């Protein structure tokens, strides 16, 4: 989910593990020449999800930690590709904590459908995150260093 700490924890994990770090949202922005919220505004949510799926399905990094956008879960080709090349970690965060962390969803580039609330989005995505996850880590622990260490133990030890 947006605000779960994917980018923050991903950078820490990459440093701890001695790996490269890739934020796929930045890759999308670079390839498209637009910010996420601009892509969503221009292409609509469905158009953004297609772009996100295409770009994530084309990632082929080595020795890297990848932080994807939360809506990557809607792209089956991207998810199957990521599952083939990596271990998928779901940073699980309770709704109340997530709502406290997030600001303006539109400026964050969150792929919300017309009329969809954050709670609707949360309830829609959780089963998908659980479906694809190889590892589930409690992101409610609050400290990104602790979360990164939990991932290290789960994935590398």
* pLDDT tens column, 79-115: 999 999 999 999 999 998 888 888 666 666 677 788 8
**56: pLDDT confidence band, cut at 50, 70 and 90?**
very high
Give 72's DSSP letter. G
Task: Assign residue 132 a region (left: φ > 0; alpha: ψ between -120 and 50; beta: otherwise).
Answer: alpha
What's the domain range around 60?
Answer: 6-138
pLDDT at 146 > cutoff 90: yes
Can you list the alpha helix ranges (DSSP code H) found in the chain?
6-17, 24-32, 36-57, 76-85, 95-101, 105-108, 118-132, 144-156
The CA distance from 48 to 68, in Å, is: 14
Residue 7 burial by CB count (10 A; 0-12/13-18/19+): exposed, middle or buried? Answer: middle
**Residue 47 sits in a domain of what CATH number?**
3.40.50.300
Q: How many CA atoms lie within 13 A of 138 on its CB side?
A: 4
Quote the pLDDT of residue 140.
Answer: 85
pLDDT digits (tens, 9 = 90+) for 15-37: 999 999 999 999 999 999 999 98
pLDDT band at 126 (very low <50, low <70, confident <90, very high): very high
Radius of gyration of the chain (CA): 15
Q: How many domains does the chain have?
A: 1
pTM: 0.89
Q: Tell me, yes or no, whether 66 lies in a domain.
A: yes
Structure token pair of residue 131: 């479906």
Q: Does residue 151 lie within any of the structural domains?
A: no
Residue 156 forms part of a structural domain: no
Q: Do 56 and 82 form a contact (C-beta atoms < 8 A)?
A: yes
């Amino acid at each position: 989910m947006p605000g779960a700490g994917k980018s923050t924890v991903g950078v820490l994990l990459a440093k701890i593990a001695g790996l490269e770090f890739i934020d796929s949202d930045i890759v999308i922005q670079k390839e498209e020449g637009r910010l996420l919220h601009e892509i969503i505004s221009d292409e609509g949510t469905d158009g953004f999800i297609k772009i996100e799926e295409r770009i994530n399905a084309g990632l082929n990094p080595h020795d890297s930690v990848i932080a994807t956008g939360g809506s990557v879960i809607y792209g089956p080709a991207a998810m199957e590709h990521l599952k083939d090349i990596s271990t998928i970690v779901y940073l699980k965060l309770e709704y109340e904590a997530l709502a406290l962390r997030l600001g303006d969803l539109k400026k964050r580039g969150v792929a919300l459908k017309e009329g969809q609330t954050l709670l609707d989005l949360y309830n829609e995505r959780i089963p998908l995150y659980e479906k694809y996850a190889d590892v589930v880590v409690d992101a409610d622990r609050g400290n990104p260093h602790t979360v990164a260490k939990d991932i290290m133990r789960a994935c590398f030890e």
